[in-house]
Homo-oligomer: A and B are copies of this chain.
């Protein structure tokens, strides 16, 4: 790739970003878009849908940038919880390391790279026509002592990143602990979830009661047995859909009729429809109530939420093996009530274990073989194939412009579409893995998507998509550094443009929220705008892997192609403003894991570092500076030891709380008069939403928004 091409790409993408940002600043002022761009403010009642028109609404303004920029950490914490804060700290952390690495890269490594003449095509007179490779380590002469600059840079940047990682881990640990200290008594702190309750002659409820009363007579409070509600769940969904349809058709006197059902009036026989639907709704409701009462009587799953008087008792129950048989009475800390994932409540040890194994296997196979069908589908899109498949397009395809677009963009579009499917697919895999909370599912999906991205974008690009050569390299550890040193630097210019195109675009489209915007447009055409809408949750399993992947690109390429650093830095600065804005205006926290995402981030950074160091070992050997290559070898070992130390020093904090803090919190509650009431309410906290009595048909307005309550 030549410099002018890069400049063009940067120009186009900067323009696109500015356009997106400008458009956004206009669109967010339109009341009809509040649901898309300011749902939080709408729900909180800060922004009202104003219908009167003024000119200001059409003028782009940068006020929101300043607002997002000035948001303090404490404000962010109150808006997005500790998880949101951790997410933003990934970005600030990345900004710090790429500023540091950027200074070293641009002012030290870049001149050294340009100085070399290995590639011998640097043409000072025609700067824009020279290849980007001139700026990479490939241009440094083999055996040149200038490579020691790179060597030092690798050591210094590794040291800096490890130093920051340590302090970041420490900071987030202390935030996590202070979050716990400052928290009010919360149901999940007093609760454990017991799985694999052995079958006995009596009911599950009785055996739970006798088991825990026997063991912990003083601290055991009560319990709630989980019930199998899969069928009720699907009935409830049917009822909700039906209710929506009815509510949409029924004339609503309390709402203005101006924009009401703009298109629905085109269909006739409205009252007929309503009657039919209402009848159906009644039937479903009847059925639902029947099933609910059935489930309340029978349908006990072999799992229960067990409540204790103190946090310490709950935590001790979690850590200790309860039964003589370690595969029975398995305890885990209960998730927050809002965080419980009720549908796939798998209760037996052996089923959970097998489903976990199967899901891990499927994820690995999916990750490794993902490119096979994609390449196949891409192969179908060449012109002759298309003409054969869709003969009526032949005339269109002969136009040069159209055929260029198709051959140029279609394969990449297909890849992008397939990639869009990955986060939901991984989330689905995680749900059937046996996790009991949304947060665990998303954390597991985050890891899966991250590995998927690293394998299918980083390694697949480096190895030009040849799965066989990727696999054979992995199976032969000796050749890994050498092979990586050949294939990775060769893709430097690709990844620089990748950061500019995919990175910048993805983050501005995050701001623009294209899909919700289009959905909102469509919905407004067909339905009445009602005040009930689901507040969006931050899709951590989609965004964390993406942000981490750009971090990986920056770290692995910083010494090979320092030119990537300004673009990565720009990406993170953009992300900084945009995600803060989104946390402020769009996303609500769905759960609070109190920073449990950080260990994943830490591991990803360590992986990036080790990958970078292994590539460095290979490159120094390739550049015939074997001394530097050998002297880089201790670096991955030291990094892994550092990681091991961090695991021992910080990871336990993210698993459970210490006896010291638990007992301190328990003591505080001793004199709290509201605790009696809290204990009484505990049992109601963990109630399967599928078992909450519903009432749609008789009075739809009294209905307390089933959509939001099930959210």
- In the complex, the answer to whether B477 meets A327 with C-beta atoms within 8 Å is no
Q: Which one of A23-31, A315-323, A456-464, A596-604 is at the B interface? A: A315-323
A177 at the interface (CB under 8 A from B): yes
List B contacts of A656 (CB < 8 A): 320-321
Complex: chain B residue closest to A661, CB-CB = B324
- In the complex, the answer to whether B652 meets A326 with C-beta atoms within 8 Å is yes
- What's the minimum C-beta distance from A177 to chain B, rounded to whole angstroms? 6
A478 at the interface (CB under 8 A from B): yes
A49 at the interface (CB under 8 A from B): no
Which residues of chain A (302-354) have a CB below 8 Å from chain B? Answer: 315-317, 319-327, 349, 353
- In the complex, the answer to whether B476 meets A321 with C-beta atoms within 8 Å is no
What per-residue 1/0 map shows which CB atoms of A476-506 lie under 8 Å from chain B? 1110000000000000000000000000000
Q: A327-B649, A649-B327 are in contact. Are A660 and B353 (CB under 8 A)?
A: no
A663 at the interface (CB under 8 A from B): yes
A420 at the interface (CB under 8 A from B): no
Complex: chain B residue closest to A653, CB-CB = B326
A627 at the interface (CB under 8 A from B): no
Complex: chain B residue closest to A211, CB-CB = B660
A700 at the interface (CB under 8 A from B): no
How many Å lie between the Cα of A431 and that of B657 in the bound state? Answer: 33
Which residues of chain A (172-205) have a CB below 8 Å from chain B? Answer: 177
**Main SS class of interface, A:** helix
- In the complex, the answer to whether A648 meets B475 with C-beta atoms within 8 Å is no
How many Å lie between the Cα of A110 and that of B214 in the bound state? Answer: 59
- In the complex, the answer to whether B316 meets A658 with C-beta atoms within 8 Å is no
How many Å lie between the Cα of A326 and that of B663 in the bound state? Answer: 16
How many Å lie between the Cα of A684 and that of B648 in the bound state? Answer: 33
- In the complex, the answer to whether A316 meets B320 with C-beta atoms within 8 Å is yes
- In the complex, the answer to whether B653 meets A320 with C-beta atoms within 8 Å is no
List B contacts of A477 (CB < 8 A): 475-477
List B contacts of A651 (CB < 8 A): 326
List B contacts of A316 (CB < 8 A): 316, 319-320
How many Å lie between the Cα of A322 and that of B651 in the bound state? Answer: 14
A573 at the interface (CB under 8 A from B): no
What per-residue 1/0 map shows which CB atoms of A375-396 lie under 8 Å from chain B? 0000000000000000000000
List B contacts of A315 (CB < 8 A): 320
A215 at the interface (CB under 8 A from B): yes
- In the complex, the answer to whether A658 meets B353 with C-beta atoms within 8 Å is no
Q: Which listed residue (B323, B645, B657, B663) contacts A215, Cβ 8 A?
A: B663
List B contacts of A324 (CB < 8 A): 177, 653, 658, 660-661
Q: Give the size category of A's interface with B.
A: 35 or more
Complex: chain B residue closest to A647, CB-CB = B326
Tell which of A177, A326, A475, A661 has the most Cβ of chain B within 10 Å: A326
How many Å lie between the Cα of A320 and that of B333 in the bound state? Answer: 13
How many Å lie between the Cα of A539 and that of B320 in the bound state? Answer: 33
- What's the minimum C-beta distance from A610 to chain B, rounded to whole angstroms? 18
Complex: chain B residue closest to A471, CB-CB = B478
Complex: chain B residue closest to A655, CB-CB = B321
List B contacts of A658 (CB < 8 A): 320-324, 326
Q: A357-B641, A641-B357 are in contact. Are A323 and B648 (CB under 8 A)?
A: no
A650 at the interface (CB under 8 A from B): yes
List B contacts of A214 (CB < 8 A): 663
A659 at the interface (CB under 8 A from B): yes
List B contacts of A327 (CB < 8 A): 648-649
- What's the minimum C-beta distance from A476 to chain B, rounded to whole angstroms? 6
List B contacts of A641 (CB < 8 A): 357
- In the complex, the answer to whether A317 meets B650 with C-beta atoms within 8 Å is no
- What's the minimum C-beta distance from A284 to chain B, rounded to whole angstroms? 43
- What's the minimum C-beta distance from A663 to chain B, rounded to whole angstroms? 5
Q: Which listed residue (B215, B478, B650, B659) contacts A320, Cβ 8 A?
A: B659
- In the complex, the answer to whether A648 meets B478 with C-beta atoms within 8 Å is no
- What's the minimum C-beta distance from A473 to chain B, rounded to whole angstroms? 11
- In the complex, the answer to whether A659 meets B317 with C-beta atoms within 8 Å is yes
How many Å lie between the Cα of A316 and that of B323 in the bound state? Answer: 14
How many Å lie between the Cα of A214 and that of B659 in the bound state? Answer: 11
Complex: chain B residue closest to A315, CB-CB = B320
How many Å lie between the Cα of A253 and that of B325 in the bound state? Answer: 62
- In the complex, the answer to whether B650 meets A322 with C-beta atoms within 8 Å is no
Q: A316-B320, A327-B649, A648-B353 are in contact. Are A660 and B478 (CB under 8 A)?
A: no
- In the complex, the answer to whether B353 meets A645 with C-beta atoms within 8 Å is yes
List B contacts of A652 (CB < 8 A): 321, 326
- In the complex, the answer to whether A660 meets B357 with C-beta atoms within 8 Å is no
How many Å lie between the Cα of A315 and that of B215 in the bound state? Answer: 14
Complex: chain B residue closest to A321, CB-CB = B658
Q: A353-B648, A645-B353 are in contact. Are A659 and B475 (CB under 8 A)?
A: no
List B contacts of A323 (CB < 8 A): 658, 660
List B contacts of A215 (CB < 8 A): 659-660, 663
- In the complex, the answer to whether A659 meets B322 with C-beta atoms within 8 Å is yes
- What's the minimum C-beta distance from A485 to chain B, rounded to whole angstroms? 18
List B contacts of A478 (CB < 8 A): 472, 475-476
Pull 24 A–B residue pairs with CB atoms less than 8 Å apart, ordered by A.
Answer: A214-B663, A215-B659, A215-B663, A315-B320, A316-B316, A316-B319, A316-B320, A317-B659, A320-B658, A320-B659, A321-B653, A321-B657, A322-B660, A324-B658, A324-B660, A325-B649, A326-B650, A349-B648, A353-B648, A472-B478, A475-B478, A476-B476, A476-B478, A477-B477
Closest 10 pairs (CB-CB, A-B): A326-B652, A319-B319, A321-B658, A320-B659, A316-B316, A322-B659, A321-B652, A475-B478, A324-B658, A215-B663
